Amino acid sequence: MNEPVSGIAPALSLPEPDRSSRGAGAPETDERIRELRGGGVAVVVHLPDEGLPEVLHWGRDLGALAPGELDQLRLARARPVSPSALDEPWPLTLLPGEHDGWEGRPGLAAHRRGRAEHPRWTVAEVRVEPQRLRVRAAADGLALDIELSLDDAGVLRLAHELTNTAAEPLALTGLETVLPVGDRVGEVLDFTGRWTRERAPQRRALAQGSHVRETRRGRTGHDAPFVLALGAPGFSTDAGEIWAVHLAWSGDAVYRHDALPEARPLVGAGPLLRAGEIELAPGESFRTPTAVFIWSDQGTDGIGARLHRSLRSRSSHPRRPRPVVLNTWEAVYFQHDLGRLEALAETAAAIGVERFVLDDGWFRGRRDDRAGLGDWTVDPEVWPEGLHPIVGRVRSLGMQFGLWFEPEMVNPDSDLARDHPEWMLQPLDAGIRAWRGQYVLNVAHPAAFEYLLTSIAAIVHEYRLDYIKWDQNRDLIEAAHEGRANVLRHTEAVYRLLDRLRTLHPALEIESCASGGARVDMGILERTDRVWASDTNDPIERLAIQRWTELLLPLELIGSHIGPPVAHTTHRATGLDFRIATALFGSAGIEWDLTSCTPAELDQLRAGIAAYRRLRGLLHTGALTHPDTGDDGAGATCVIAEDRSRAVVRLARHATANRALAPMLRVPGLDPNHRYRVTPVPELPVPRGLDDTPPPWLREGLLLPGSVLTEVGVQPPLLAPGEALVLELTREPRG
Ligand code: DGJ
């Protein structure tokens, strides 16, 4: 029998739904298609009488569609029966599986004592709120809650929660979220990396098949896929359609895309579940981390713009000005000495630093990186009066005080390891390979959890800490509790620990660090205030790392420090002006022994800090873009105020140019009908450049309509590698 389509005669034969299988509260006919709209994006979901919801459209907003039109959209999407294929049309659902007819990687993988689960889902309940849809489905022995929400930035969040409703345990080995993307995708972008080279992009042609990137590092990882983007062929920084996913999760992950000959392409992500890791007892549930899906027709900057807007709309988003930080790590390493640190603090305060962070080396037994982790009390030999003398001095200089912790780790040479071998996630006698001489504590162990919470909270309380740098310096190989893989529960426990600490100390700010930038994800950022993007302070390396970190995060969340003249991680020498220009576009700080600086260097730092403090209101709220420079050796970074009244643009060169005349620097996104005054940022030196005579406007500045700056641009000087020009654009009142 044909299924009637309201008001329009059906053109195709569709199977009659089996009404007998409809659960209580199943949607009425005219409510079977739901549209979520926000930020110029629409997600249209079909709720069938049988089986799980299908996404009919995820992409550009289609406008408000009438029920009849939504039904027509469903019809327009209805698939024919392909040759040499299943006898009936089959649905591509939000949790695709073999019972549906899907033969790619399944959304759900589970078994009961070896008996495979191929659930036959029925939607039991649908809850619709503005921009949010919750669907409860049931199958024999299982319940599934699907939650989709679309925010005003057009960012879609999707999570599944699976409940075992049978009397037998359920072994879960996969639960992933996926969405169909446009058929016109042809290229794939994701990321890789290593220590001091995080978030390196890799791009390739889309190939057929189910393609999976797994991470098994027990933390997000230096080589995390980060953002998996499927785009129309040739998508660029500012053009082309892209469908992307990011998993808000700091443990093992699966990023996947599926392009099967008989189905629409999919993109998705989920937690990586190791064998035996998740076994659901009767009545128990498992909820996936939230997957964040982003569509844009404006290239990678369009993806970034949506993510930044979405993150900035969170109530927990840091809104106080991001202070200038002095971090002691590369300044003194483990050489903690009150006199030396006081001198550092005094110099820092004198040039405008606002937060002093005492890094690794302050706690019991921590004279180098081989001992002490786990013993979270102040070392009485180095600090006989506790940290009070340095905290007091820092505060008397008008700065905030922050402290380094690495709560998840233990050195075998620590009282914690000696007293509580049962708290280890990696038993010390199991022959597991050490990493920086350290092993992982099982934070999911209730007593270990309480110990960490109590000891960290006591230090926060005693010294009224403003800030914690929360480090994590190793991958979690062979991480198990009583023989059972335990990365997932451990990661959840770390989140709980952070949440509890923040509840106890709501004003405390926390930075996420993991051997530099190995924990940069939206899961950790739900409970932290900035990330340490990388352990390299070499500005040449940093420019690339920050550029792609900015795909996910706005500048105020990305820690960036001015390091010493010769970078400790690369041994490369760079100029101070270049190091300042690099750190300016971030949550800025210094990591350098300032007591070794010349007066001229201190003056330059003071001026750079003044520029940051003057411009951070704009840098940390404006729209970020990366205008195409037309030059492989140089990158541009631009921030334009929401009201388009101001902008800052940095042109930075990391390699020589292939032309003698630098391409025009264009600034998209300005108000075309207003004039802007263009000048170099006055606090920063204008780079010398390689031209015999620099472009004349650099001296007097320019006054040009936004339309000209966007379409024609300005002639920049030919910068030498390691030089940056930072421009300020100010809209003139209409006169
Ligand atoms: C690794 C971090 O990334 C560094 O910034 C520093 O905090 C060290 N750990 C300290 O051990």
Cβ neighbours for 53, distance < 8 A, ≥ 6 positions apart = 45, 46, 47, 93, 94, 123, 135, 146
Active site (catalytic) residues? 471, 535
Let me know if residue 363 belongs to a domain: yes
Q: How far is the CA of 495 from the centre of ligand 1 (A)?
A: 20
Q: How far is the CA of 464 from the centre of ligand 1 (A)?
A: 22
Nearest C-alpha to atom 6 of ligand 1 is from which residue?
Answer: 329
Nearest C-alpha to atom 9 of ligand 1 is from which residue?
Answer: 515
Alpha carbon distance 406, 329 (integer Å): 14
The response to whether residue 513 sits with its C-beta less than 6 Å from ligand 1 reads yes
Let me know if residue 541 belongs to a domain: no
The response to whether residue 329 sits with its C-beta less than 6 Å from ligand 1 reads yes
- Burial of residue 691 (CB within 10 Å: 0-12, 13-18, 19+) is middle
Q: Does residue 475 carry a pLDDT above 70?
A: yes
CATH number at residue 694: 2.60.40.1180
Let me know if residue 514 belongs to a domain: yes
Q: Do 157 and 301 sit in the same domain of this protein?
A: yes
- How is 211-242 classified by DSSP, letter by letter? EEEEE-SSSS-TT----EEEESTT--SSSB-E
So what's the pLDDT on residue 98? 95
So what's the pLDDT on residue 734? 73
Residue pointed to by tokens 């009849």: 68
The bridge status of strand 439-440 relative to strand 115-116 is unpaired
Cα dihedral 688, 692, 698, 704 sign: negative
Give the domain-ending residue among 257, 282, 311. 311
Asked if residues 515 and 472 have their Cβ atoms less than 8 Å apart, the reply is yes
Give the domain-ending residue among 258, 280, 311. 311
Name the pLDDT band for 144 (thresholds 50, 70, 90): very high
Q: Do 247 and 188 sit in the same domain of this protein?
A: yes
Residue pointed to by tokens 């989140």: 495
Q: Does residue 22 carry a pLDDT above 90?
A: no
Q: How far is the CA of 386 from the centre of ligand 1 (A)?
A: 22
Q: How far is the CA of 57 from the centre of ligand 1 (A)?
A: 45
Q: Do 269 and 412 sit in the same domain of this protein?
A: no
Most ligand 1 atoms within 8 A of CB, residue of 334, 409, 530, 535 to mutate:
535
So what's the pLDDT on residue 28? 41
- pLDDT digits over 484-538, tens only? 999 999 999 999 999 999 999 999 999 999 999 999 999 999 999 999 999 999 9
The structural domain count of the chain equals 3
Q: Do 265 and 389 sit in the same domain of this protein?
A: no
Let me know if residue 671 belongs to a domain: yes
Q: How far is the CA of 261 from the centre of ligand 1 (A)?
A: 47
Let me know if residue 327 belongs to a domain: no
Tokens of 479: 């991480």
Q: How far is the CA of 534 from the centre of ligand 1 (A)?
A: 10
CATH number at residue 427: 3.20.20.70
Q: Do 285 and 166 sit in the same domain of this protein?
A: yes
Tokens of 201: 């992009």
412 beta partners: none
Asked if residues 319 and 259 have their Cβ atoms less than 8 Å apart, the reply is no
The response to whether residue 404 sits with its C-beta less than 6 Å from ligand 1 reads yes
Q: What share of the chain is helix, strand, coil (3-state, %, to 5)?
A: 20, 30, 50
Residue pointed to by tokens 């040009």: 704
Q: Do 412 and 292 sit in the same domain of this protein?
A: no
Range of the domain at 137: 7-81+91-311
The response to whether residue 176 sits with its C-beta less than 6 Å from ligand 1 reads no
Let me know if residue 465 belongs to a domain: yes
CATH number at residue 228: 2.70.98.60
**Which of 18-32, 386-400, 469-483 has the lowest average pLDDT?**
18-32
Q: What single letter denotes the amino acid at residue 223?
A: D
So what's the pLDDT on residue 735? 62
Q: Do 296 and 359 sit in the same domain of this protein?
A: no
Nearest C-alpha to atom 10 of ligand 1 is from which residue?
Answer: 360
The response to whether residue 473 sits with its C-beta less than 6 Å from ligand 1 reads yes
Asked if residues 695 and 717 have their Cβ atoms less than 8 Å apart, the reply is yes
Give the domain-ending residue among 483, 500, 529. 529
So what's the pLDDT on residue 152? 98
- pLDDT digits over 58-111, tens only? 999 999 999 999 999 999 999 999 999 999 999 999 999 999 999 999 999 999
Alpha carbon distance 579, 726 (integer Å): 12
The response to whether residue 532 sits with its C-beta less than 6 Å from ligand 1 reads yes
Most ligand 1 atoms within 8 A of CB, residue of 513, 515, 531, 558 to mutate:
513
Nearest C-alpha to atom 11 of ligand 1 is from which residue?
Answer: 360
Most ligand 1 atoms within 8 A of CB, residue of 329, 411, 520 to mutate:
329
Q: How far is the CA of 515 from the centre of ligand 1 (A)?
A: 6
Alpha carbon distance 63, 177 (integer Å): 26
Q: Do 266 and 405 sit in the same domain of this protein?
A: no
Tokens of 443: 């934070």
Alpha carbon distance 240, 530 (integer Å): 30
Q: How far is the CA of 333 from the centre of ligand 1 (A)?
A: 9
Residue pointed to by tokens 């949506």: 306
Closest CA to 439 of 404, 478, 403: 478
So what's the pLDDT on residue 3? 31
So what's the pLDDT on residue 483? 87
Q: Do 305 and 358 sit in the same domain of this protein?
A: no
Atom of ligand 1 nearest to the CA of 469: 7
Q: Do 705 and 640 sit in the same domain of this protein?
A: yes
The response to whether residue 495 sits with its C-beta less than 6 Å from ligand 1 reads no
The response to whether residue 359 sits with its C-beta less than 6 Å from ligand 1 reads yes
Q: Do 710 and 655 sit in the same domain of this protein?
A: yes
Q: Does residue 297 carry a pLDDT above 50?
A: yes
> What is the rounded average pLDDT of the residues 33-47?
97
- 22-58: string of b/e by CB count within 10 Å (b at 16+)? beeebbeeeebbbbbbbbbbbbbbbbbbbbbbbbbbb
**Which of 182-191, 295-304, 423-432 has the lowest average pLDDT?**
423-432
511 beta partners: 469, 530
The response to whether residue 515 sits with its C-beta less than 6 Å from ligand 1 reads yes
Let me know if residue 430 belongs to a domain: yes
So what's the pLDDT on residue 427? 87
Most ligand 1 atoms within 8 A of CB, residue of 327, 359, 511, 531 to mutate:
359
Atom of ligand 1 nearest to the CA of 591: 5
Q: Does residue 692 carry a pLDDT above 80?
A: yes
Most ligand 1 atoms within 8 A of CB, residue of 196, 197, 332, 404 to mutate:
404
Most ligand 1 atoms within 8 A of CB, residue of 471, 560, 569, 591 to mutate:
471
The bridge status of strand 228-231 relative to strand 242-247 is antiparallel
| Number of residues assigned to the chain | 735
Atom of ligand 1 nearest to the CA of 532: 3
> Cα–Cα distances in Å, from 462 out to 60, 341, 377, 528?
52, 20, 11, 21
Q: In angstroms, how far is the first alpha carbon of the chain from the final one?
A: 71
- How is 415-426 classified by DSSP, letter by letter? HHHHH-GGGBSS
**Which of 25-29, 388-392, 590-594 has the lowest average pLDDT?**
25-29
The bridge status of strand 587-590 relative to strand 558-562 is parallel
Closest CA to 50 of 107, 102, 99: 99
Q: How far is the CA of 678 from the centre of ligand 1 (A)?
A: 39
| H helix or E strand, kind and range, residue 490 | helix 487-504
Alpha carbon distance 371, 354 (integer Å): 31
Q: How far is the CA of 204 from the centre of ligand 1 (A)?
A: 34
- Burial of residue 618 (CB within 10 Å: 0-12, 13-18, 19+) is middle
- How is 377-445 classified by DSSP, letter by letter? SB-TTT-TTTTHHHHHHHHHTT-EEEEEE-TTEE-SBSHHHHH-GGGBSS-TTTTPPPBTTBEEB-TTS
So what's the pLDDT on residue 482? 84
Share of the chain above pLDDT 90, in %: 94
How many other β-carbons are positioned within 10 Å of the β-carbon of residue 677?
13
**Which of 21-25, 243-247, 378-382 has the lowest average pLDDT?**
21-25
- pLDDT digits over 327-385, tens only? 999 999 999 999 999 999 999 999 999 999 999 999 999 999 999 999 999 999 999 99
Q: How far is the CA of 715 from the centre of ligand 1 (A)?
A: 41
Asked if residues 512 and 539 have their Cβ atoms less than 8 Å apart, the reply is no
Q: Do 387 and 457 sit in the same domain of this protein?
A: yes
Atom of ligand 1 nearest to the CA of 404: 7
Let me know if residue 662 belongs to a domain: yes
How many other β-carbons are positioned within 10 Å of the β-carbon of residue 263?
18
Closest CA to 220 of 127, 311, 322, 289: 289
228 beta partners: 245
- pLDDT digits over 171-205, tens only? 999 999 999 999 999 999 999 999 999 999 999 99
Nearest C-alpha to atom 8 of ligand 1 is from which residue?
Answer: 360
Q: Does residue 13 carry a pLDDT above 60?
A: no
The response to whether residue 535 sits with its C-beta less than 6 Å from ligand 1 reads yes
Q: Does residue 10 carry a pLDDT above 50?
A: no
Q: How far is the CA of 378 from the centre of ligand 1 (A)?
A: 18
Give alpha helix (H) positions in 66-186. Answer: 67-77
Asked if residues 244 and 230 have their Cβ atoms less than 8 Å apart, the reply is yes
